[in-house]
Amino acid sequence: MNKSFLSYFSGMKDPRVDRTKRHLLNDIMFITIAAVLSGAETWNTIEEYGKSKKEWLKGILELPEGIPSHDTFGRVFAALDPDKFEDIFIKWIRSIQDNSEGEIVSIDGKTLRGSKIRGCKYVTHIVSAWADKNNLILGQIKVEEKSNEITAIPKLLDMLLLKGATVTIDAMGTQTKIARKIVSKGADYILAVKGNQGELLDDIKDSFKMLKPNDISDDIDFGHGRIETRDCRVITDLSLVPSAIKWKGIKSIIEVERKRDFKNIDKKEQEVSYYISTHIQAKTIANGIRKHWGIENKVHWVLDVAFNEDHSRKRTGNAAKNFTNINRIALNMLRRSEKKVSIVNKRFAAGWDNNYLLSLLKI
């Protein structure tokens, strides 16, 4: 094989004892990623993919004992070190990521509902970072049991190349420690402010009652049977925000008012949201806030609809966490493909066309 994503696994430690290694780890990884790119979602369907493509795979892989069983795939991924797997994911991303200057990097969490074990309250929760311009998932980290996103986000930020980027995070991640971490990485931030930062939220609301905005950006969006107007107002005078001193790099407070008029029904909606930022231009901030939802639309929704991730029942050992990496690797590869069809149709194409599959894998 030429230099490809699979080459990054060459130094990964095989978790199996020697006497149980009937199949090579590289063969297992290749079949798994190829199968997931082609639409497989379970260990059984990965095995069936391998069997159906056996003759073709024999020309690429060693396969000393043929195609592994579904139990073998499951045991290997349950035993693989998820931290090492994540390191490989990050190194690969860095090799294909373009310059982060001007990038919007959105950070948000997703719960894998199917990972819950009966009688256990804990379900696997993954925090991911999405780069809008690069059209890539930059990294992800599992929220440890009895922990939350507040402790996971700084660890994720440590993994990422962020110089010149703008990081956007929902209110859960609006913490002084996280703001300091973002600035230390050479990045800007736009952080949502809600009730979990009550003092800061009150200060911002009071400022918008007493002071005039320094800059305003208006935007109108037509679609989905509604008209939505968004007014982004920015104040750089922080004199009424004594708590601002706690926030590294803060230069502005933001009020965004959204109004929705529905065309076919007599219904109106209005909401007001607040943010803090290292930026001062309303247009730049409004763009970052809109782009933040890319992680929901282009990552979480796609993983649920196209990859059926929310219904995955992989629960043994590290299987759930490791398989989310496989899904995100596959989604990144499919996103970067120039074929002008949906993600679902790209997966069909990968299953039908071996040459297209190899182009995704850069082989």
Quick one: average pLDDT of 226-250? 94
Highest mean pLDDT among 119-133, 308-322, 337-351: 337-351
Looking at residue 67, its amino acid is: I
Which residues, listed in sequence order, are joined to residue 110 by a DSSP beta bridge?
A: 126
Half-sphere exposure of 54 (CA within 13 A, CB side): 11
Measure the CA–CA gap between 63 and 23, rounded to whole angstroms. 7
Q: What percent of the chain has pLDDT over 90?
A: 65
Inter-CA distances, 338 with 4, 40, 182, 342, Å: 18, 22, 32, 11
Q: What percent of the chain has pLDDT over 70?
A: 94
Best CA proximity match to 201, nearest among 151, 255, 271: 255
Which pLDDT score is estimated for 244?
95
Measure the CA–CA gap between 300 and 165, rounded to whole angstroms. 21
Average pLDDT of the chain to the nearest whole number: 90
Which pLDDT score is estimated for 142?
84
pLDDT at 113 over 60: no
- Taking only the tens place, the pLDDT of each residue in 347-359 is 999 999 999 999 9
Yes or no: say if 77 and 318 are a contact pair by the CB < 8 Å rule.
Answer: yes
Highest mean pLDDT among 14-23, 135-144, 328-337: 328-337
Among 171-180, 292-301, 325-334, 344-353, the range scoring the smallest mean pLDDT is 292-301
Quickly state the pLDDT bin for 27 (edges 50, 70, 90): very high
Which pLDDT score is estimated for 280?
97
The string of DSSP letters for 248-315 reads TT--EEEEEEEEEEESSSS-EEEEEEEEEES---HHHHHHHHHHHTHHIIIIIHHHHHTS-GGG----
Best CA proximity match to 184, nearest among 287, 278, 262, 57: 278
By DSSP bridging, strand 226-235 and strand 215-223 are: antiparallel
Quick one: average pLDDT of 213-232? 87
Q: How many CB atoms lie within 10 A of CB 59?
A: 8
Which pLDDT score is estimated for 66?
96
Domains and CATH numbers, the chain: 5-81+318-361 (no CATH), 87-300 (3.90.350.10)
- Taking only the tens place, the pLDDT of each residue in 241-276 is 999 999 999 999 999 999 888 777 777 889 999 999
Measure the CA–CA gap between 293 and 168, rounded to whole angstroms. 10
Which pLDDT score is estimated for 49?
98
Among 32-46, 136-150, 163-177, the range scoring the smallest mean pLDDT is 136-150
> For residues 357 and 109, which has the higher predicted lDDT (pLDDT)?
357
Quick one: average pLDDT of 60-88? 93
- Taking only the tens place, the pLDDT of each residue in 114-138 is 544 444 455 778 899 999 999 999 9
Quick one: average pLDDT of 33-44? 96
Measure the CA–CA gap between 40 and 46, rounded to whole angstroms. 6
Which pLDDT score is estimated for 283?
96
pLDDT at 2 over 50: no
The string of DSSP letters for 141-183 reads EEPPTT--HHHHHHHHHHHS--TT-EEEE-GGG--HHHHHHHH
pLDDT at 145 over 70: no
Highest mean pLDDT among 150-154, 170-174, 189-193, 304-308: 189-193
Query: Kind and range of the H or E element at 83?
Result: helix 82-96
Measure the CA–CA gap between 155 and 262, rounded to whole angstroms. 42
Inter-CA distances, 339 with 50, 290, 298, 350, 353, Å: 25, 26, 17, 11, 13
Q: The sheet that has 188-193: what strands, in order across it?
A: 136-142, 124-131, 104-112, 166-169, 188-193, 268-277, 252-262, 226-235, 215-223
